[in-house]
């Protein structure tokens, strides 16, 4: 198991990130409550609208029925009076008795009632005999002579009490679904048929039943109820859509701001971590560099003396020199990371740096069976850069590529080409082992390495140099296929 110097700082950064995420969650809770209450309020408004619609339609229906009942009773009383004066008295004077079984008397009564009900919303008029529950007259001829058709309302009318019966069928579904029967609503009013003496207390001669057709009114009421519900649903749907759009947009804005905040906090933590690492590395490297130089010089002197005293053992001192040289390189790398060099800008060519690197690495390429392929754009113009630091960038990336292909060799392709917006791009593609998605997110982190010997600072220093030039560095890789690093340097360099 490997342990890196940055483990402690990475863990602390993770803890800080967790705290930041908890703060974001805490900050989003009030907005979540706002969303909850907004949607709850919308639901309550919709239910309230439906309840108000139902209450309105019910009250309207009740009012229509009450007015229709009053109208029916007034009409029945008016019919009672007119029939008494226009039919009963003249017929009794002429014939001495009332006998509706006589076709002449029946026809005369029918003419009078037809004339009275003409133009009114009266479906039918029925007159029951007072001696038995039988229909003596009806505007619907098929009912004449029918017995026991009055029911309890007939009995109440014989006792002088008027009553009303509502017969309705159908609902909103009858209007919406095809093939359903139409809405039907009939209001039957039973009133006693009296001898008119002006006081309303005359002798009861029979019972008059007036049937009023309210189907059109009920259909219009149900249609109005449906329209109100439909309008309420449409309005609520629009409000819901608007509210949802606002909430979604607010969610996105808050998420974007939270993400931006997390990124800023991450950068801040990274800066603090790197600052702490830089101070520690600079201090340690400074203390190591001088003694290391003394050890190396001493080893070189010892090597000369061993060759005289104990010939054949010079390699022992050479090992010390070799390892101190390696350690000196590591210390220099630490110092480059802790105290980055200032840029010394001048116009230069990326193609020249690539060719210089190829000559320098030729022996290494041959030893590792790596075939370099140069695809350099001859029309590439010079750019403003620090040539030595960009050369270091190129070497660092190539060293990583060589390490990735060290087992079986491969092809190393280096391309240069101009960018449309100005500047130049450098691409380095190897056919090595490639990297996983997780590794690609960590390779630029200081001290991260999967090598047995290495500081893990090469790519971190590379990224710092590129960013100091105002450029960008990206990596694309697939395990088992290879890796491509792309360095873009602008025409203007950030100092």
- β-strand partners of 347: 384
Residues forming beta bridges with residue 489, ordered by sequence position: 424
Q: What is the pLDDT of residues 252-295, one digit of tens each?
A: 888 888 888 888 888 788 777 666 766 666 666 656 666 766 77
CB 340 within 8 A of CB 380: no
- 82-125 pLDDT, tens digit each: 888 888 888 888 888 877 778 888 888 888 888 888 877 788 88
Dump pLDDT digits (tens) for 412-421: 999 999 988 8
pTM for this predicted structure? 0.44
Is the pLDDT at 338 greater than 80? The verdict is no
Do 414 and 375 meet the contact criterion of CB atoms below 8 Å apart?
Answer: yes
Domains, the chain, ordered by start: 342-489 (3.30.565.10)
pLDDT, one tens digit per residue, over 136-189 is 888 888 888 888 888 888 888 888 888 888 887 776 666 667 767 777 788 888
According to the model, what pLDDT value does residue 13 have? 47
pLDDT band at residue 232 under the 50/70/90 scheme: confident
Who wins on pLDDT, 388 or 198? 388
Tens-digit pLDDT profile for residues 30-70: 556 566 666 677 777 777 777 877 787 778 778 877 888 88
Q: What is the pLDDT of residue 25?
A: 46
Burial class of residue 15 (count of CB atoms within 10 Å of its CB; 0-12, 13-18, 19+): exposed
Could you tell me which of 492, 440, 442, 446 has the C-alpha nearest to residue 470? 492
C-alpha of 210 from chain center: 62
> For residue 156, what pLDDT is reported?
87
Residue 366: how many CB atoms within 10 A of its CB? 10
C-alpha gyration radius of the chain: 52
Identify the CA nearest to 343 among candidates 471, 246, 454, 453: 471
């Amino acid at each position: 198991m490997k342990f890196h110097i940055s483990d402690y700082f990475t863990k602390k950064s993770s803890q800080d990130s967790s705290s930041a995420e908890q703060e974001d969650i805490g900050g989003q809770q009030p907005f979540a409550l706002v969303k909850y209450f907004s949607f709850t309020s919308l639901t309550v408004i919709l239910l309230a609208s439906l309840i108000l619609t139902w209450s309105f339609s019910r009250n309207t229906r009740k009012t229509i029925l009450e007015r229709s009942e009053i109208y029916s009773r007034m009409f029945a009383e008016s019919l009672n009076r007119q029939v008494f004066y226009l039919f009963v008295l003249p017929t009794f004077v002429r014939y001495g008795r009332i006998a509706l079984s006589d076709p002449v008397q029946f026809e005369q009564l029918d003419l009078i009632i037809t004339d009275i009900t003409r133009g009114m919303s009266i479906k039918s008029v029925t007159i029951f005999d007072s001696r038995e529950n039988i229909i003596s007259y009806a505007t619907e001829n098929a009912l004449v002579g029918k017995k026991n058709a009055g029911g309890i309302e007939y009995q109440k009318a014989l006792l002088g009490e008027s009553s009303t019966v509502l017969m309705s069928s159908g609902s909103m579904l009858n209007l919406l679904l095809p093939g359903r029967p139409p809405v039907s609503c009939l209001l039957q009013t039973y009133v006693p048929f009296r001898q008119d003496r002006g006081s309303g207390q005359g002798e009861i001669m029979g019972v008059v039943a007036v049937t009023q057709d309210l189907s059109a009114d009920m259909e219009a009421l149900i249609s109005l109820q449906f329209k109100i519900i439909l309008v309420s649903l449409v309005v609520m749907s629009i409000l819901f859509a608007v509210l949802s759009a606002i909430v979604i947009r607010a969610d996105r804005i808050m998420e974007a701001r939270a993400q931006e905040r997390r990124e800023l906090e991450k950068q801040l933590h990274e800066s603090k971590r790197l600052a702490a690492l830089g101070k520690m590395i600079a201090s340690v490297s400074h203390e190591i560099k001088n003694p290391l130089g003394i050890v190396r010089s001493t080893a070189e002197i010892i090597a000369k003396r061993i060759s005289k005293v104990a010939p054949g053992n010079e390699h022992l001192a050479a090992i010390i020199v070799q390892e101190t040289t390696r350690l000196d390189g590591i210390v220099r790398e630490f110092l480059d990371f802790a105290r980055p060099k200032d840029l010394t800008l001048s116009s230069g060519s990326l193609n020249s740096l690539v060719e210089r690197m190829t000559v320098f690495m030729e022996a290494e390429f041959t030893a590792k069976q790596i075939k370099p392929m140069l695809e350099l754009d001859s029309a590439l113009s010079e750019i403003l850069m620090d040539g030595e630091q960009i050369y270091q960038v190129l070497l660092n990336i190539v060293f990583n590529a060589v390490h990735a292909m060290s087992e079986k060799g491969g092809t190393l392709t280096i391309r240069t080409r101009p960018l449309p917006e100005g500047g130049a791009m450098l691409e380095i593609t190897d056919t090595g082992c490639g990297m996983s998605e997780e590794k690609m997110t960590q390779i630029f982190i200081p001290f991260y390495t999967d090598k047995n010997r290495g500081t893990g600072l090469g790519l971190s220093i590379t990224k710092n140099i590129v960013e100091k030039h105002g450029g960008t560095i990206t990596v694309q890789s697939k395990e088992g296929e290879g890796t491509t690093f792309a360095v873009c340097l602008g025409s203007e360099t950030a100092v």
